[in-house]
Amino acid sequence: MKPTIFLGLVTHVRTRFPESAGAEGLVVQVARHLEEHGVKVVVAVHDDDRHTEDLVPLTRTEVKRSIAAEMALEEQWRSFVNARQPRWLLHLFMAARRAYRTVRLAPPWLTASEARTSGAQMLRRLVNIEIAHLHLLHQARDLEVTWAAIFEDDAHLSDPCAFATSLARFVRDSPSEQPGYVNISRSFSHERLALAHHLTWVGQWDSSTKVMASDIPLTNTVCAILYRGSFLDTLVPALDRIPVSPVLPIDWKLNQALLDLARAGSLGAGDCWFLDPAPVVQGSMHDQGDDGGAR
């Protein structure tokens, strides 16, 4: 039976990367090359504006709640990733970040109408991105695909053909149980995120790209992640349990779900893999074709 790969694209009508949803966009190119390798492909694009005031009000109060929730979660995540970091120092650092972001995005001296043009715009954008990711993950789970790769519209591949060749080989040869998901893009270096000490070499993706397994579930960015179809039965309900308000960037919502699953014993060593160097470059953070290192 042919493996089936779901390729989902998160985009928006006002995106800075409109070409991503075109006939020569990354997802379409990868799908075409996968089909040449005998892989069945399902392509889906989500570009709707689903935010409503009933779902998340675009108020200064909501902005402040969302910033506080994100900073609290990031503090938990940093402790999870690097348990050796002094808690008191981390707490002070995150408190300072929370104060800075609150003043920048929800300053008390702005009028209500002015406030809607700063942090409120952030909320609307993040809600739409979250809805798009969840919609595509639900769709992939319901289709019972073998693997699902979700790309954001700023994802860039220097060689879609070579990537598809390696991906086709991977879905045929990968073990039946692990990993649950593979980080195939990078925004920051492993060193900057303090992830490197968790990673162990387990093989090669291609001649120049290593496959690294993590001893705990981790992420780098949701710009591009490859999920095992069966893992979506575990991940999607965990994501659904996290309320839309206060608003979290989808990267952090995924991290919250992974934390919850790890604490429940549903995720462990070897369930998370990284490609190193990651083949997908996040175009909104790096020049296309660079190495994805820290800037």
Which candidate, 146, 150, 158, 141, places its Cα nearest to that of 43? 150
3-state DSSP assignment of residue 289: coil
Structure token pair of residue 234: 């575990």
Strand 4-10 with 40-46, pairing: parallel
pLDDT for residue 118: 74
**What is the per-residue pLDDT for 235?**
98
Please provide the DSSP assignment of 26-87 as one string: HHHHHHHHHHHTT-EEEEEEE------TTTS--SHHHHHHHHHHHHHHHHHHHHHH-TTS-H
Any idea what the Cα angle at residue 240 is, between residues 235 and 244, rounded to 5°? 135
- Per-residue pLDDT tens digits of the chain, which is 295 residues long: 567 999 999 999 888 888 898 888 999 999 999 999 999 999 999 999 888 888 899 888 899 999 999 999 999 999 999 988 899 999 999 999 999 999 888 887 766 665 566 788 899 999 999 999 999 999 999 999 999 999 999 999 999 999 999 999 999 887 778 899 999 998 888 888 889 999 999 999 999 999 999 999 999 889 999 999 999 999 999 999 999 999 999 999 999 999 999 999 999 999 999 999 999 999 887 654 433 332 2
Q: List the domain boundaries for the chain.
A: 4-52+121-282
The domain 4-52+121-282 is classified under which CATH number: 1.10.10, 3.90.550, 3.40.1350, 1.10.1470? 3.90.550
pLDDT at 248: 95
Distances, alpha carbon 75 to alpha carbons 69, 81, 92, 195, 248, in Å: 10, 10, 10, 15, 14
Give the chain's largest Cα–Cα span. 62
Pairwise CA distance, residues 51 & 291, whole Å: 35
CA distances from 78 to 85, 93, 203, 224, 255 (A): 8, 11, 28, 22, 11
pLDDT value of position 225: 98
* pLDDT at 131 (0 to 100): 96
Per-residue pLDDT at 112: 60
